Chain A
Amino acid sequence: MDDGRFKIVNRKKRNHRFHRLKKNRKSKKMNSKGKISRRGFLKTGIAVGAGVYGLPYLRAIKKKPTLKQLKEHDLKPGIVVVHGDSANANGEEVVVKEMVRRAISALGGMRKLVSNGDRVLIKPNIAWNQAPEFAANTNPCVVAALVALCKDAGARSVMVIDHTCSANPETSYNRSGIASAAIRAGAKVSYINKNRFRDFVIPDGTVLKQWSFYEEMVYKDEVDVLINVPIAKQHGTSRLSMALKNVFGMIGGDRGSLHTDIHPKIADLNKFVKVDLTVLDAFRILKKNGPTGGRLDDVDNSQEHARRIIVSTDPVAVDAYGATLFGIKPKDVGYIRKSHEEGLGEIDYTSIGFEEFHV
């Protein structure tokens, strides 16, 4: 049935073979044109190889980045606790934003920390794919308020970023409401880029001598001001998760392996990161089944234990105060005690100046 067609094909093939014979006869001349000679092959091979291999060495031309240090500021050294009250959910956004604003101004105002043209990085807790009312992630209103304050103070850019526990950051960023709230307030929201974790030596680490940190949070030429915005939660392994524990969102590596003997490790990690300001969201706190939560029964938003924003430049003092909200003595939480002992901050938060007021 196909005979006719194959005849055509065969005729073509014959012609083709004939051509090829002719080609072979002049193959020596053809070398320079269509094909490549052995010598040419070697030459280009060496050239390309050297280029590909040598290119990364050009990196050395770039200036070696230096590590961020604590920014010099004129903020008061104490701790400020702002109580807020909102019975209905509609008022929450207004109340929380007002609380954050008043808290920061009680500490001296954002302008005392953020200077014109600064790059600010806000690190909330966006670990879980959970809605704001379950108190598993930082309240989006707190983040939005801080973004607005930084912008007002003249920050060139405000970035909101966290290394989530969810495998896909997108789910957490969206469900927590932080992504949309921060973008609305004018921040740049970005996901963790896996290529940007780098191992650093922790100079005075007792248990951890070295760990991988996120470059954008530790390099001087990437960030000027680093603001840690945790939420107060119960946590299985470390008892409580607040400011010091929130540093787990700034690191890479095998974070699970840090959970054995976690307390000194949290202290060690905090020695490396230079957090300029800590804003603890205790508007709602998660008292049980943390850090993931998911049950409104476990969320405490009563006036006596929650409904607060705690602000200080001293993360240990913030955590010490936070622990009391759970009815736990600060010294009973291993990492708070350890961090205090190793000079990261003051565990007796009243001694550095304690201010408390209602909004």
Chain B
Amino acid sequence: MQDKHTQNNWPFHFRRVIQYISFSVFIYLLLFLDPLTERDVPANIFLRMSPLSAIGAMMAVRAFIFNYWPAFIVLLLTIPFGRYFCAWICPLGTTIDITDRFFAGFRKHAQRRLYDGRRLKYYLLAFLLLSLLLGLQCAGWFDPISIATSVFAMSIHPYIIHLGDSLFVYLEHIPLLGYLFSFFHAFFQKILFAWHAPFFRSHGILLFAFVIIIAFGMVLRRYWCRNICPMGALFALFSDWSFFKRNVSSTCTSCGLCVGKCGMGAIESDGKSTKEGECILCMTCRNVCPEQSVTFKRFQPSLQKHTISLSRRAFVVSGIAGAAIAPFLKLNYRKKINKETVSIIRPPGAVNEKEFIARCIRCGECMKVCKTNGLHPVLLEYGIEGIWTPQLIPRIGYCDYGCVLCTRVCPSGAIKPLPLEEKRWVALGKARIDHNRCIPWVGYSRLPELKKEWQDFNCGVCEEVCPVPTKAIHFNTYVDEQGREIRRPFVREDVCVGCGFCEKVCPVLGTSAIVVEGIQPQTTVKKERSVKIVSSGNFLPKTLGKWKRIAEPRIYEGGERLYEYMNGGAELYLAYSFIRVTNAEYGDDTGKRISIDIWEFETAEDAFGVFTKDRAGIGISLGNRASLFENYLFVWNDVYCIRVAPWEGSISGGEITSFGKSIIDLMPYKKEILPDIVRYLPEDSLVKESLKFFHEKIILDNIYISDNFIEENVFHLSKQTDALIAEYKTGEEAAPLLLLLIKYPDRDAASIAFEAVVKLWRSWGEKETHSNAIHTFQNENGYFTSWLQEKHLLAATFLSPKKEEGEELLRRVLQNGKIE
């Protein structure tokens, strides 16, 4: 008897071997997911074997997903083999089998009965399928392979690593023995990739759900598989044609051994009949039967078939529940406000949001594979519907510019596979700088009150790490009279890819000062053009006296190119009608080098504006206007603004000037045309070199006109406005008085600006006085700012120590009598 028994149990052991092999493969693929995916191994094969996910994703998007072909093989094999998947392959089933062993004692003591009606899973399946028809994807939450993947990857693996790591660190401190532990630790770290232990938010929630699933084992074995698993129900529906149905021969003594051993509780108490669709071919009954009376055959005597009674009413109820709950779960106020998007950052290659939410089967594979640990599950940010879909949280981990792993592992195509070259142009979101948190911006607005510590406000980590080859973060450098330099970062939205590296590294504690907001659908950023080197302009000959040109001049045309030439500060030039800048270098025999920039603008006025903005030093007679600061030369000539700078070797101001002169000599002579607004300036005591002409607010931002930083464009400055700022001498010792003139296209625009300005100054609580049309405000330190509007002109004097001086200057603007 005993011999016969041992000879015949091979199918049971064979099944067990297959089960553990497939479980080990599952764990292996999960642990080594990223190196395997890098080598293009289809490590997501288990997820693609799930027919429930396959049907779920396909029904929700109403399209065939070819990637799911293994699921169809699994389903097709169900026809000859029945519910083999549950006992032979399913990783969750194996996990439950293992944990159930630990609960054997509990089960013996279990006093309570638990619902064990087998129908529940069919109703759940019906509910899921119906809600899928309504476009609600929740199949993933109940798919056993998705559950196993996310539980092992996102809860258990990190726990083991963290626990193991801290245990070893502790043990390594033991003298002598510690060396042994260090050795094991290094080995352990290599195997489990514990150098950078992953962490996932809401790992506890996941673990809690998992504990519930396995805790049922304290009462009944494989409770999940018997009563809940909708995939089991799906298999059960197909298992009726199986070639391997349980047959009990007449030798059966109804001893009840197999009844107790059956993990699924599929065998009726007489030991003969089997519940329909419940047998998972685990072969245990065959193994334990002392009489060898159990066989698996194509035909099952009808008496041995025990049908599960499903009530039509319950199906109707679950259908109605699906229909009623689905739209309810889709409610989300954030989506409503944001036009169907909730500005969370999806992984690169994510399809448009509506399709994404339908396709994503919530398996967590992309989060597991993410090298920087940046992908995390969404909790309730997207409503109930979006639970467990992936989201990039840049503060924890950014999207690596050279990585495409998540796009390769997605089984359902919610994340499209992207080649690296394409992925680099995909913008997941856009970074924005919070000026109230950003260190340099805060420093800039507080600059007047800072004495020594201004260096502490120069930060640029975001610019440093920006992986975009031309940098999406640039500096706008501001230097005040005392030489204090603040480099304010700004984001170029057109090239920002929203990778979040800047947000990750921002040294501001708590919320980063630069935050990436997701955009849906993801866009492609403009691809850069290669540097265009055009043959030399007319004004830059190959030789110029002793100077020889080195290489071809480089021409940067249009705003896009200017950013490339100037790392920061380009928008100061774009605030004028910029056309192009040509740069060339000249050298002589002694190794001296000179660099020359010729800036070209649409109008001579704008060229004058840029000249006034940049010039420094003493005025000299060259071109229309020129100034020399040590050995730096600035020239305005017609629509050109020229800057000559020493590059290498010691070059005197004289050499620079004569070089500049020979350049100007090549240009046709032009009569000096000043902007119209200049004639409004009273001439007495005007500091001629102090004039600055501009159009847009960004230029005014760099001029100190008030203690408060003026964020909003209250002056309504734009391309259409002409503005002028000039200094007036008020005495030998005293600081000069600042006069601002803005000319608007019409009178209405001027009065709107005037009201906005007065309102702003009032909002700072400054003391206000009026005399005729002039509004004067006195700040806490006793300085006076006066405002006047006359027709289309707005005029102001800033921070004058005496009230009369400022008002008097404004009156002189009026008396100039030239305002029409």
Interface of A with B (CB < 8 Å)?
Answer: 1-8, 12-13, 16, 55-56, 58-59, 61-62, 128-130, 165-171, 175, 191-193, 195, 235-237, 254, 256-257, 259-263, 288-289, 291-295, 297-298, 327
Is B109 at the interface (CB under 8 A from chain A)? yes
Q: In the complex the two chains form, is A56's CB within 8 Å of B173's CB?
A: yes
Give the interface segment out of B285-293, B455-463, B766-774, B808-816. Answer: B455-463
Interface residues of B in 201-245 (CB under 8 A from A): none
Q: In the complex the two chains form, is B400's CB within 8 Å of A259's CB?
A: no
Q: In the complex the two chains form, is B469's CB within 8 Å of A289's CB?
A: yes
What are 5 A-to-B residue pairs whose CB atoms are below 8 Å? A167-B504, A171-B371, A171-B402, A259-B464, A292-B465
CB distance from A155 to the nearest CB of B (A): 21
Q: In the complex the two chains form, is A256's CB within 8 Å of B269's CB?
A: no
Q: In the complex the two chains form, is A169's CB within 8 Å of B196's CB?
A: yes
A-B pairs, 7 with minimum CB distance? A4-B269, A294-B469, A256-B507, A295-B469, A167-B372, A237-B460, A261-B455
B-side contacts of A236, CB under 8 Å: 460, 463-464, 475, 567
Which of A4, A55, A129, A168 is in CB contact (< 8 Å) with B268? A4
Is B510 at the interface (CB under 8 A from chain A)? no
Q: In the complex the two chains form, is A260's CB within 8 Å of B195's CB?
A: no
B-side contacts of A195, CB under 8 Å: 169
Q: In the complex the two chains form, is B506's CB within 8 Å of A256's CB?
A: yes
10 additional contacts, CB 8 Å, given A7-B269, A55-B173, A129-B402? A1-B306, A5-B268, A5-B269, A130-B402, A168-B373, A171-B403, A237-B459, A237-B463, A289-B470, A293-B469
Q: A235 vs B402: C-alpha distance in the bound complex, in angstroms?
A: 20
Which of B256, B458, B465, B471 is in CB contact (< 8 Å) with A8? B256
Judged by DSSP, the binding face of B is: loop
Is B804 at the interface (CB under 8 A from chain A)? no
Q: In the complex the two chains form, is A292's CB within 8 Å of B467's CB?
A: yes
CB distance from A173 to the nearest CB of B (A): 11
Q: A170 vs B467: C-alpha distance in the bound complex, in angstroms?
A: 17
Tell which of A56, A61, A195 has the most Cβ of chain B within 10 Å: A195
Q: A2 vs B109: C-alpha distance in the bound complex, in angstroms?
A: 19
Q: In the complex the two chains form, is B116's CB within 8 Å of A2's CB?
A: yes
Q: In the complex the two chains form, is B467's CB within 8 Å of A260's CB?
A: no
Given A3-B269, A294-B468, A297-B530; A260-B459 close (CB under 8 Å): yes
Q: In the complex the two chains form, is B465's CB within 8 Å of A165's CB?
A: yes
Given A1-B306, A259-B507; A168-B196 close (CB under 8 Å): yes
Q: A7 vs B256: C-alpha distance in the bound complex, in angstroms?
A: 12
Q: A35 vs B269: C-alpha distance in the bound complex, in angstroms?
A: 37
Give A264's nearest chain B residue, CB to CB. Answer: B455
Given A167-B196, A297-B531; A260-B455 close (CB under 8 Å): yes
A-side contacts of B170, CB under 8 Å: 55-56
Q: In the complex the two chains form, is B461's CB within 8 Å of A129's CB?
A: no
CB distance from B758 to the nearest CB of A (A): 38
CB distance from A195 to the nearest CB of B (A): 5
Q: A167 vs B169: C-alpha distance in the bound complex, in angstroms?
A: 22
CB distance from B369 to the nearest CB of A (A): 11
Q: A326 vs B116: C-alpha distance in the bound complex, in angstroms?
A: 77
B-side contacts of A294, CB under 8 Å: 401, 467-469
Interface of B with A (CB < 8 Å)?
Answer: 108-109, 111, 113, 116, 169-170, 173-175, 195-196, 256, 259-260, 265, 268-270, 306, 371-374, 397-398, 400-403, 439, 455-461, 463-471, 475, 504-507, 528, 530-531, 567, 647-648
Given A259-B460, A259-B464, A292-B467; A58-B507 close (CB under 8 Å): no
Q: A4 vs B256: C-alpha distance in the bound complex, in angstroms?
A: 10
Which of A254, A291, A297 is in CB contact (< 8 Å) with B507? A254
A-side contacts of B466, CB under 8 Å: 292
B-side contacts of A61, CB under 8 Å: 175
CB distance from B813 to the nearest CB of A (A): 43
Q: In the complex the two chains form, is A327's CB within 8 Å of B269's CB?
A: no
Which of A58, A257, A292 is in CB contact (< 8 Å) with B174? A58
CB distance from B681 to the nearest CB of A (A): 38
B-side contacts of A5, CB under 8 Å: 259, 265, 268-269
Q: A289 vs B398: C-alpha distance in the bound complex, in angstroms?
A: 20
Given A58-B175, A175-B402, A297-B530; A260-B306 close (CB under 8 Å): no
Give B466's nearest chain A residue, CB to CB. Answer: A292
B-side contacts of A130, CB under 8 Å: 402
Q: A2 vs B475: C-alpha distance in the bound complex, in angstroms?
A: 76
Q: A166 vs B400: C-alpha distance in the bound complex, in angstroms?
A: 8
CB distance from A217 to the nearest CB of B (A): 17
Q: A297 vs B467: C-alpha distance in the bound complex, in angstroms?
A: 15
A-side contacts of B268, CB under 8 Å: 1, 4-5
Q: A165 vs B531: C-alpha distance in the bound complex, in angstroms?
A: 29
Q: A1 vs B196: C-alpha distance in the bound complex, in angstroms?
A: 54
Give B173's nearest chain A residue, CB to CB. Answer: A59
B-side contacts of A292, CB under 8 Å: 464-467
A-side contacts of B507, CB under 8 Å: 254, 256-257, 259-260
B-side contacts of A327, CB under 8 Å: 647-648
CB distance from B258 to the nearest CB of A (A): 12
Q: In the complex the two chains form, is A168's CB within 8 Å of B455's CB?
A: no
A-side contacts of B259, CB under 8 Å: 5, 8
Given A1-B306, A129-B400, A167-B373; A237-B461 close (CB under 8 Å): yes
Q: A236 vs B475: C-alpha distance in the bound complex, in angstroms?
A: 9
Given A168-B371, A235-B464; A289-B567 close (CB under 8 Å): yes
Q: In the complex the two chains form, is B461's CB within 8 Å of A261's CB?
A: no
Given A55-B173, A168-B196, A237-B459; A4-B270 close (CB under 8 Å): yes
Q: In the complex the two chains form, is A261's CB within 8 Å of B456's CB?
A: yes
A-side contacts of B457, CB under 8 Å: 260
A-side contacts of B647, CB under 8 Å: 327
Q: In the complex the two chains form, is A261's CB within 8 Å of B530's CB?
A: no
Q: In the complex the two chains form, is A259's CB within 8 Å of B459's CB?
A: yes
Q: A5 vs B116: C-alpha distance in the bound complex, in angstroms?
A: 12
B-side contacts of A291, CB under 8 Å: 464
Q: A60 vs B505: C-alpha distance in the bound complex, in angstroms?
A: 37
Q: A292 vs B497: C-alpha distance in the bound complex, in angstroms?
A: 15
Q: A312 vs B475: C-alpha distance in the bound complex, in angstroms?
A: 34
Q: A168 vs B396: C-alpha distance in the bound complex, in angstroms?
A: 12
Given A5-B259, A297-B530; A62-B269 close (CB under 8 Å): no
Q: A352 vs B301: C-alpha distance in the bound complex, in angstroms?
A: 100
CB distance from B525 to the nearest CB of A (A): 14
A-side contacts of B111, CB under 8 Å: 13
Q: A256 vs B259: C-alpha distance in the bound complex, in angstroms?
A: 65
CB distance from B407 to the nearest CB of A (A): 16
CB distance from B468 to the nearest CB of A (A): 7
Q: A337 vs B506: C-alpha distance in the bound complex, in angstroms?
A: 27
CB distance from A170 to the nearest CB of B (A): 7
Q: In the complex the two chains form, is A168's CB within 8 Å of B400's CB?
A: yes
Q: In the complex the two chains form, is B458's CB within 8 Å of A167's CB?
A: no
CB distance from A101 to the nearest CB of B (A): 31
Q: In the complex the two chains form, is B174's CB within 8 Å of A55's CB?
A: yes
Tell which of B374, B400, B466, B469 has the most Cβ of chain A within 10 Å: B469
Q: A192 vs B189: C-alpha distance in the bound complex, in angstroms?
A: 12
Give B463's nearest chain A residue, CB to CB. Answer: A236
Tell which of A4, A16, A169, A256 has the most Cβ of chain B within 10 Å: A256
Q: In the complex the two chains form, is A288's CB within 8 Å of B465's CB?
A: no
A-side contacts of B506, CB under 8 Å: 256
CB distance from A14 to the nearest CB of B (A): 12
Tell which of A167, A171, A292, A297 has the most Cβ of chain B within 10 Å: A167
A-side contacts of B475, CB under 8 Å: 236
B-side contacts of A170, CB under 8 Å: 195, 371
Q: A3 vs B402: C-alpha distance in the bound complex, in angstroms?
A: 63
Q: A296 vs B24: C-alpha distance in the bound complex, in angstroms?
A: 45
Q: In the complex the two chains form, is A167's CB within 8 Å of B398's CB?
A: yes
A-side contacts of B173, CB under 8 Å: 55-56, 58-59
CB distance from B304 to the nearest CB of A (A): 14
Q: A16 vs B401: C-alpha distance in the bound complex, in angstroms?
A: 64
A-side contacts of B458, CB under 8 Å: 237, 259-262
Give A55's nearest chain B residue, CB to CB. Answer: B174
Q: In the complex the two chains form, is B175's CB within 8 Å of A62's CB?
A: yes
